[in-house]
Amino acid sequence: MAAAFANDSPKYRNSLICCSPRTEVASQSSSSTSGCVSADESIDSNYVPKSIANKKLKIHSAATREEIEKAINQCKELVLNSPQCSDERKWLVRYLVELRLRLEDLKDCDGQIRDKVTIKGHHFEQQTAITNRKQYCDHCSGVIWSIVQSSYICSDCGYVCHYKCVDDVCRVCAHVVMTEKGQFEMNICPEKGLAAQDYKCVECLTTLTFKDTWNEPRLCDYTGMYFCTTCHWNDMFAIPARVIHNWDWDKRYVSRLAYQMLTLSWTTPYIDVEKINPKLFGFIAELEWIHKMRRDLEWMRRYLCACSLGSGLLSPLFVQLGDVNKKYSMAHLQAINDGTLETQLTELTEMCRAHITKCPLCSGKGYLCEVCGNDEIVYPFDSGAILCEQCNSMYHRVCWLRKGQICLKCKRMNERKKNLPETDNTDSNTEYDIDKFVH
């Protein structure tokens, strides 16, 4: 019984009380940890037996009290008329319990259901559409049976909860947390220990103990904090700190809050690799190549933004990777690890290079190498070109080395300054004699 009870809820996923993995207990019956009787793991929560599919028992999420009471009476009659121990009776009994819970929800709020609720930074909206995907309440970890149970979802972070749980939400919206921080946690599992948390869950303040396997403490590898089984469902995610410091893409257990934070910020460029771990470029050849192409895209963007014909090449990928902040998102790093980003950037840079070299307006903004004096136009994004940091003159890399890495333009400017006569430093308040300027 305990195993069946545990396997139905993500609260006890991979817990010590689970006798087998979640995927191996699909045929076992189970109950929700919120006190709601749920469907079997192998049966979809919106499944209706064929024998009673034409009875029109389903009610919409905005059903009134009278409609629910009518459905309860009809369900009672069908339970009495159904064969004992049949799948039809099992489904009807579960459905009858959910209908009664739905009726109690309406009684608590005088028959009125709130369409929108704002709490703890969440912007909850009522879920009106029946989904075929099984959902679990983020507050109580119980199953949400969308046929009869009202539920809310946060439009910012995706937090889902029962109607009856919305007023008891204790987790701050993950979107608010990431907006305030503006960056990922870059320390690898900054664990402080249970004593620092007073042996309580950092989120809901539930007392944690190793003696009670029903409420074991679970470590979040992202935050380094301990959570209870209701706030930590053993979700697995790649940790940004481990990726940046060790290029470790193995997924590890994280809490629900960390899971939502990482999911929301996966595509946001928060990571400055040059500042956090510049040595990583020397170990990951693909990352170093992408970093070089990003610098080339930064130069190309200056050409394309000033050209009316080239502005159409500024694709969303170009805007993300051709910016000047040189930061990466976790999605960018994952694409580098998979090899997909290198292919996309190569195609994009070749397309932009072809336009700049052939466009009369863009090619007219190129440079000529002063050393060799040929007519070949040199661009800042060419691999065989080098830019003088003092005067922004362009040279072929071979010509630059042949001249001993001395810029000819800077040399002329320095000689000109030496040949200029020294001027007397006069006081800016000195009055000039106007008579000597009048003839």
269 in a structural domain:
no
Examine the domain organization and report whether 152 and 50 are in the same domain: yes
Examine the domain organization and report whether 360 and 373 are in the same domain: no
6 in a structural domain:
no
Examine the domain organization and report whether 99 and 48 are in the same domain: yes
430 in a structural domain:
no
Examine the domain organization and report whether 357 and 388 are in the same domain: no
**For each successive 10 residues of the chain (439 residues), what is the average pLDDT?**
51 50 32 34 48 61 74 82 80 77 67 74 83 84 80 91 87 90 92 91 89 83 94 94 95 95 92 91 89 82 78 67 73 90 84 84 79 78 76 77 78 82 53 42
How far separated are the first and last CA of the chain, in Å rounded?
Answer: 115
372 in a structural domain:
yes
Structure confidence at residue 239 (pLDDT): 96
Element (H, E) at 353: helix 340-358
Element (H, E) at 329: none
Element (H, E) at 296: helix 285-305
Dihedral pair phi/psi, residue 333, rounded to 5°:
-65, -35
Q: In which residue are the tokens 């994004």 written? A: 381
Examine the domain organization and report whether 312 and 226 are in the same domain: no
Rounded Cα distance between 356 and 366, Å, is 9
Q: Are strands 143-144 and 151-154 parallel, antiparallel or unpaired?
A: unpaired
**Collapsing DSSP states into helix, strand and coil, what is residue 142?**
coil
Structure confidence at residue 407 (pLDDT): 80
Examine the domain organization and report whether 99 and 198 are in the same domain: no
329 in a structural domain:
yes
Total tally of structural domains belonging to the chain: 4
**Residue 219 belongs to domain spanning:** 174-264
Q: Are strands 151-154 and 226-227 parallel, antiparallel or unpaired?
A: unpaired
Given CA atoms 123, 220, 267, 127 in this order, what sign does their dihedral have?
A: negative
Rounded Cα distance between 295 and 292, Å, is 5
243 in a structural domain:
yes
DSSP labels, 175-214: HHHHHHH-S---SS-----TGGGTTB-TTT--B--SS-GG
User: What tokens were used for 32?
Assistant: 């929700």
Q: What is the CATH number of the domain that holds 117?
A: 3.30.60.20
Examine the domain organization and report whether 253 and 187 are in the same domain: yes
Examine the domain organization and report whether 344 and 411 are in the same domain: no
Q: In which residue are the tokens 């020397």 written? A: 282
**Count of alpha carbons within 13 angstroms of residue 170, beta-carbon side:** 11
Rounded Cα distance between 424 and 174, Å, is 66
Last residue of one domain, picked from the residues 141, 168, 195? 168
436 in a structural domain:
no
Q: What is the CATH number of the domain that holds 217?
A: 3.30.40.10
Examine the domain organization and report whether 164 and 70 are in the same domain: yes
Structure confidence at residue 198 (pLDDT): 92
User: Which amino acid is present at 273?
Assistant: V
